[in-house]
């Protein structure tokens, strides 16, 4: 007599389930790659952050004319981080880096109250770009160690972050 729990249909079902679990497992644990764009006003600390992520140490930097790009590995994710110069004359070039960007790190100098409005305007201008509509946003409040640094609530207010709630 044949085993009723080992029919041909049952074997096919088990094989399909095995393949489904294998696919799910590989999706969950396979190496992922993400393209991250890091922007912000000049002297916000973008390049310092990039090399701290990459090398684990603080390096001496000079103003970025153009860009720096590094691959940063974290767990099973490989981030390609593009650090783009923030001087006002080269900000119009930022848009050339928008395509295929999955994550946006906007770096703010927490100690630079005088340019908070300028930072807000640049951030909102960028977020209105169609190519960035699906990008996840991280606002990085840098230089928090300085005594006069704006706190998170003040940065949220000055950058108008509450109006961005509909974003990821």
Confirm or deny that 48 is annotated as ligand binding.
no
* Residue 102 annotated as catalytic: no
Predicted TM-score of the model (pTM): 0.80
pLDDT tens digits along 24-74: 666 666 778 999 999 999 999 999 999 999 999 999 998 999 899 999 998
Confirm or deny that 1 is annotated as ligand binding.
no
Confirm or deny that 71 is annotated as ligand binding.
no
pLDDT of amino acid 8: 77
Assess contact for 83 and 114: CB atoms under 8 A. Answer: no
Catalytic member of 11, 12, 87, 99: 87
More confident residue, 120 or 74: 120
Confirm or deny that 44 is annotated as ligand binding.
yes
C-alpha distances in angstroms, 163 versus 13, 58, 77, 135? 50, 34, 30, 16
């Amino acid at each position: 007599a044949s085993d009723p729990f080992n029919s041909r249909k049952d074997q096919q079902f088990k094989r399909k389930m095995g393949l489904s679990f294998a696919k799910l497992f590989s999706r969950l644990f396979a190496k992922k790659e993400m393209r991250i764009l890091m922007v912000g006003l000049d002297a916000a600390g973008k390049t310092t952050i990039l090399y701290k992520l990459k090398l684990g140490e603080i390096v001496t930097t000079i103003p970025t004319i153009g860009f720096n790009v590094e691959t940063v590995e974290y767990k099973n994710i490989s981030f390609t981080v593009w650090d783009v110069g923030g001087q006002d004359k080269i900000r119009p070039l930022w848009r050339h880096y928008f395509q295929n960007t999955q994550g946006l790190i906007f770096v703010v100098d927490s100690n630079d109250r005088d340019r908070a409005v300028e930072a807000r305007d640049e951030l909102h201008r960028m977020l209105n770009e169609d190519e960035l509509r699906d990008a996840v946003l991280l606002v990085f409040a840098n230089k928090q160690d300085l005594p006069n640094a704006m706190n998170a609530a003040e940065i949220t207010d000055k950058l108008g972050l509450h109006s961005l709630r509909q974003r990821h």
